[in-house]
Amino acid sequence: MDFVPKALIVGVFAAVAPGAANTDAVNKIWMQLSRRMGYRQLIQGGEGGAQFVTSGDDAFVIQPPLLQFRSPVPMTWGKAAEDAQACIKTAAEQLGATQFANLGIKQVAHATAPNGDARGYVQHQLLPSSDDGLQMLVRGGTGWVGVKYGIEDADGTASALVIEPFLADPKFVYVDLDTQHPGQADIDRITHRAGDAERFLVEIVRPYLEGAAGTA
């Protein structure tokens, strides 16, 4: 079962002094990040907010205290994570932020569905016990099912894993892993944290899906 990376979102709260995200600081960040990422538009909002945008899923957001990087992952999750770390560090430097908290990393993949039928795979192979309940709920119509798992690690890391048919293209299963690291965050370890999440997807989630499909 192939996993196609589709999105990476990295967000962190930065301790930014009032007024630090002024026009001069935002313009300096824009100059550096637009060169690196090719952002096409700078949108400045109130209270020091700004967005550097190519598209809705390809952007960098400054909304103090939030710094957020969004990428459609044109190459690999690893390369996107490197870009996320570099962009957040650049913004933090210009904003004078040295303390960070509550790092969040969201990774989305499309997994190729067995026989090109994501709805059938999730309903009949991944969640076979859902058939009767779904038929009762749809009342003679059609429907689909998905699953959401909540995972808590010993270090306090909390993850939510969503698996469901990708409705826009029935050949793919939508896989969404949202990992939250509460407490103090080290932005020099963003790539490390993202790598941990990617390994979980590739080494744990993919074999789980393949086992349900009988292809492991």
Q: How many residues does the chain have?
A: 216
User: pTM to 2 decimals?
Assistant: 0.91
Sign of CA dihedral 36, 111, 130, 132: positive
pLDDT of residue 29: 95
Count how many domains the chain has. Answer: 1
- Which residues of the chain are modeled with pLDDT < 50? 216
Alpha carbon distances (Å) from 139 to 132, 133, 134, 142, 203: 11, 10, 9, 8, 39
Structural domain for 114, as ranges: 3-213
At 91 the pLDDT is 96
Q: What is the pLDDT of residue 44?
A: 87
> What tens digit of pLDDT does each residue of 182-208 get?
999 999 999 999 999 999 999 999 999
Dist. CA 53–CA 163, nearest whole Å: 28
First-to-last C-alpha distance (Å) of the chain: 9
- The predicted pLDDT at position 216 comes to 47
